[in-house]
Amino acid sequence: MITKILTIHSIDKLTEWIRLSEINNDSERFLSVFIQIFSSQRDPKWMMDIESILRTAIPQGVIVGASTMGEIAEGQLLINATVISFAFFEKTLIQGILISGENQTEAPMGKQLAEKIENQCHNIAGVMLLATPYTMDVSDFLKGFNAGRRQNYPVFGGGAGDYEAVQEPLIILNNNYTAKGALAIVFMGDDIHIDIYTYLGWQPLSKEMTITETDGLWVKTIDDQPAFDVFYRYLDIQNDEDFFYNVLEFPLLLKRNGIEYAKTPMEVNTDNEIKFITNINEGESVCIGYGNPAVMIEKAKDIQNHIQIFNPEAIFLYSCICRRFLLQSEVDLETKPFETIAPTAGFYTFGEICSQGKEVVMLNATMLAVSMKEGEGKRPVIGFENRIAKTESLDPFTSQHTRIISRLVNFIKVVTKELEDANAEARRLAERDYLTQAYNRMKAHEFIENEIERCNRYDLEFSAIMLDMDFFKKVNDTYGHNAGDEILIHLVKLLTLEIRKIDMLSRWGGEEFLIIMPLTNLEGARITAERIRAIIELTFFPRNLSQTCSFGVTAYKKNESIEMFVDRVDKALYEAKRMGRNCVVTK
């Protein structure tokens, strides 16, 4: 496998380069030629002119292209350029398939592409996917693709974009192009090896919030408030024509199946709903994220060291535009070291496509590094002693942008953690009884109200157990209040072990406790109360004291008030005391 990279700004330069390089003669001795065009221009004519010239020079070539949000050549960012990457394969077959999204829904289109790949191609070693996220729901497309995919092979690629974010991406395959659709390049053979690494580098900036309403790619509300309000409140971002550029550095972070994702906003509408590049589900927890340049660059070095061991003959990078936006002039610190390993080309994407196990997913805000080689590669294997190390600049004033941002991100992270811990402690103190650490009466009242609302809405049931320690005044009078406190603390520990996690235990009064039992009828609560009564009677409390309790039990009756409910269980407890204590009464 041999790789060549060319950067052009005019058709004349391409024509001249082909004439001087005699690349058409060189290509004849290879089984396949794979040509990628990464262009800042989304003009179909520009792409087709390049394709036509390349087709004449290399008739057997498989030519693909994408409009970009920044081009990468030899590991470095180029702006307003066109990068052409040539990969010559000795033993690998390549086939391209283009699916237009016109008049098609995304999921069936994805399934159709996957089925075409597996029906038409054999001995698949990997697949590159390019898509147009501006004009289609790539998440939905990939659901269909996963449904139609029977074999497990690496999949990688990215979403085409454009510099002006006017939602006019372009992808091409040979002499065809589309602004809405996807294409696949299938690599086939036993000697082609593909290795994929991806990493994020974003860190939480805000508190955790919950997605409460969505519609496809649109997030309507977060914490039951308009989604846009989150970005306005925290970041003072306005709902105007610059929304995309202002919000680009601040994706929402979430964890799904143990994997951390970043979701980048695309646009905001007049209802203050936000459209994202990939889907976010109702009920998922999110927070606003911000990239830590130091983490990104160090993580890139880790990946580069792994790639050195793989010893590739070519590296393709698919990096999210928000990374370029964040790192600015220092973006090459992340990408340039790849070129020291193997020829490196790629583009800044509007979303990255990557296989994770059997699933192919659309990522955001990530760097995707794809290494390729045929056989064991012809480059010398780089030993451990040549591992990529931290770059030590002779000028102490360079790279201060990334250092300052990293320190600010770390500062915000620490302050946010301190505030969250303080708020959590404040909530705990507000909800808990100081002595026993059972919930207090106010929290129990709130819990009962929620259960009443839930039972009335969904026709469910719940019950309550109220218990009071028998002759507890005598304990305090005989052994002192410290002994009484020890017994109360011990009782709460015992009760906590005997109830379910969904039940709530609260200290209702001095030595009076209330247990709320969701999804439990009267008989179930009575059995639980009787079991607890017997255990308490057999328990030796601190200072080797014995103790009994009286129990009142009731079940909620639909549409009754909280006062009626609590009054009934209180009366049941009073009746248990009147009957001689150490017993259970239902009412």
Q: What is the tens place of the pLDDT at every residue in 504-539?
A: 999 999 999 999 999 999 999 999 999 999 999 999
- Reduced to 3 states (helix: H, G, I; strand: E, B; else coil), residue 269 is coil
Clarify whether residues 147 and 74 are in a common domain: yes
Q: Is 393 a member of any domain?
A: no
pLDDT over threshold 60, residue 300: yes
| Residue type at position 238 | Q
Q: Which domain holds residue 128?
A: 2-200+294-382
Which pLDDT value is given to residue 406? Answer: 59
Q: Which CATH number characterizes residue 502's domain?
A: 3.30.70.270
Same domain, 265 and 316: no
Please report whether residue 419 resides in a domain. Answer: no
Highest mean pLDDT out of 127-131, 168-172, 302-306, 425-429? 127-131
* 185, part of any domain: yes
Q: Taking 60 as the threshold, does the pLDDT of residue 400 lie above it? A: no
Q: What one-letter code names the amino acid at 213?
A: E
Residue 403 has a pLDDT of 57
One domain for residues 345 and 487? no
* Residues taking part in catalysis: 511
Q: What b/e readout covers 5-36, taking b as 16+ CB neighbours within 10 angstroms?
A: bbbbeeeeebeebbeeeebbeebeebebbbbb
Strands (E), 164-313: 171-173, 176-178, 181-188, 192-199, 202-204, 209-215, 218-222, 225-226, 252-256, 259-263, 265-268, 274-276, 285-291
308-340 as b/e, with b when 16 or more CB fall inside 10 Å?
bebbbbbbbbbbbbbbbbbbeebbebbbbbbbe
The mean pLDDT value of the chain amounts to 89
What tens digit of pLDDT does each residue of 58-117 get? 999 999 999 999 999 999 999 999 999 999 999 999 999 999 988 889 999 999 999 999
Residue 399 falls within a domain, yes or no? no
Q: Distance (Å, rounded) from C-alpha 365 to C-alpha 361?
A: 13
H or E stretch covering 158: strand 155-159
The SS3 of residue 123 is coil
Domain final position from 382, 402, 429: 382
Confidence category of residue 165, pLDDT binned at 50, 70, 90:
low
CA 55, distance to chain mean position in Å, is 41
Find the mean pLDDT for residues 227-250: 88
How far apart CA 3 and CA 205 sit, in angstroms, is 41
- Within-domain flag for 300: yes
Stretch 542-546: mean pLDDT: 93
Domain count, the chain: 3
Let me know if residue 341 belongs to a domain: yes
Quote the percentage of the chain above a pLDDT of 70: 93
Q: What's the confidence (pLDDT) of residue 21?
A: 80
My answer on whether 452 and 362 are in the same domain is: no
Answer left, alpha or beta for residue 127, where phi above 0 means left and psi between -120 and 50 means alpha.
Answer: beta
Say if residue 25 is in the same domain as residue 70. yes
Residues 476 and 492 in one domain: yes
Asked whether residue 193 falls in the same domain as residue 219, the answer is no
Centre a 10 Å sphere on the Cβ of residue 97 and count the other Cβ atoms it contains: 17
**How many Å apart are CA 170 and CA 68, to the nearest integer?**
9
User: Where does a domain end: 266, 291, 316?
Assistant: 291
Amino acid at 566: V
Confidence band (pLDDT; 50, 70, 90) for 409?
A: low
Yes or no: say if 340 and 388 are a contact pair by the CB < 8 Å rule. Answer: yes
- Stretch 124-150: mean pLDDT, rounded? 94
> Are 273 and 178 found together in one domain?
no
| pLDDT at site 377 | 53
Residues 492 and 559 in one domain: yes
Side chain identity at 50, as an amino acid letter?
I
Q: Is there a single domain that holds both residue 173 and residue 140?
A: yes
Domain boundary among 382, 407, 427: 382
Q: Is residue 418 part of a domain?
A: no
Whether pTM > 0.95 for this model: the answer is no
Asked whether residue 126 carries a pLDDT value surpassing 50, the answer given is yes
Whether residue 196 is found in the same domain as residue 221: no
Residues 461 and 513 in one domain: yes
Per-residue pLDDT tens for 338-367?
A: 999 999 999 999 999 999 888 999 998 899
